[in-house]
Structure 1
């Protein structure tokens, strides 16, 4: 914090970066969910998967690029942690019953 910013302003900026990372992670997973749902009815599932992958990666990398332009590496790290968090929470929530030994409510 040698650049003259106060602690609350820095924490707010990191919170914004984290929140944008969460939004990017949710958008990525939502796009994947929509793609998987459409695989059964599409005539070319390979094209759908590749197109969806490129679109999701493009959106995600563009978001990370803007975050990196906004701040330094700490902001990018906060965004990456935010990006990873929804995946971990969703994977924990929908884990198969046989993995942990007891069914999920």
Structure 2
């Protein structure tokens, strides 16, 4: 089943930016970080990291948890996995269509 695409669109938009992909990679690898610690390893400001995290949060790819005065972000890869499944299903449907076109063009499609 191919979903409506709203969730997948949010994930794809979030992953379209290389800085957001790097942030997600760092969070998945480290298990969590603050905006300040993320900015220290990236060529962008802390404010830019906060804006990127907001996009990732809207896509459901990160979650925020307050720890004292700090807000720590953690990766949530479930939306990414759902989007990958959606893409696999979509690709499979296209493979079937392309095979039918190939069979028709080659005259191998016998009734």
Tell me if both proteins adopt one fold, taking TM over 0.5 as the criterion.
no
Name whichever structure is richer in helix by fraction: 1
Name whichever structure is richer in strand by fraction: 2
Of the two, which has the highest radius of gyration?
2
Query: TM-score scaled by structure 2?
Result: 0.30
Query: TM-score scaled by structure 1?
Result: 0.31
Q: Which has the higher contact order (CA 8 A, sep 6+)?
A: 1
